[in-house]
Amino acid sequence: MARRPFIAGNWKMYKGPAEADTLAMALRRALVDVGAVDVAVAPPFVSLAVVGARLKHSGVHLAAQDLHPAAEGAFTGAVSGEMLKQAGCAYVIVGHSERRALFGEDDALVNQKVLAALRAGLLPILCVGETLAERDAGQERAVVTRQLEAGLRGVPADQLPSLTIAYEPVWAIGTGRSASPAQAQELHATIRAWLGAQYPAFVGASLRIQYGGSVKPANAAALLSQPDIDGALVGGASLDADDFFAIIRAAGGRPATAL
């Protein structure tokens, strides 16, 4: 497959600066050579600087977990894409299901954030995925394509390949119950077919689709071997350097050869 695998770690609200520095140091030791895999970690905002400094020139990119749609302004507590860019971020996660469910983000706000990320020169990782109730009702395809359609509104086709889509079924996040490789592949194929129908062929062919939801060293290889799964967005297992590295290796990363 021509698409370069992309493994990203979402640290969520774990690891303040001191603990983040320890984890980044452990990652730096493990990841002497990430091989042909793109790797990013998304620590909390307050830990971006320390992780960025520790992982400089390591091949691991810095990502943020969220951004505000405005470039600057009177938005107490918020952080803009432009600020994240200045802080060294390459990527930003947008529309994670926890943001949607716990912080009330709707498709329109997620769309504004995607556009803001691109404006700031960040590479958005747009998360989509259905809840258990939606899957039980047989609506997973409809939900995911609605989230895509709304989330990508106004993004020019030539900018789309700089995006990553993360398919994260909500019922699989943090539950230890991953989607099966076949279940994940089915939705990834749906997403790629949808992209192929909406945009010029190069978009569907080149845009990377990560799977997220209880990815662990034990299930990573089977998930990543599916033809339309181009990487993983990893929560819990990214907080352990050995587990995260095992997942990177499952995507084709090489083991460390020297310190």
Segment (H or E) for 254? none
Q: Interface with ligand PGA includes 10 (CB under 6 A)?
A: yes
Q: Pick between residue 174 and residue 227 the one whose CB is nearest to ligand PGA.
A: 174
CA distance 185 to 183: 6
Q: Interface with ligand PGA includes 81 (CB under 6 A)?
A: no
Catalytic residue among 96, 105, 140, 188: 96
Q: Is 168 a catalytic residue?
A: yes
Residue written as token pair 């960025």:
52
Determine what percent of the chain falls in helix, strand and coil, rounding each to the nearest 5. 45, 15, 40
Q: How far is the CB of 9 from ligand PGA (least distance, A)?
A: 9
Q: Pick between residue 185 and residue 214 the one whose CB is nearest to ligand PGA.
A: 214
Which residues from 166-225 bind ligand PGA, rule CB under 6 A?
A: 168, 173-174, 212-215
> Are 214 and 177 within 8 A, CB to CB?
yes
Among 31, 92, 233, 247, binds ligand PGA (CB under 6 A): 233
CA distance 83 to 14: 21
Q: Interface with ligand PGA includes 164 (CB under 6 A)?
A: no
Closest residue by Cα to residue 66 from 40, 105, 38, 107: 105
Active site residues per annotation: 96, 168
Could you list the residues that contact ligand PGA (CB under 6 A)? Answer: 10, 168, 173-174, 212-215, 233-237
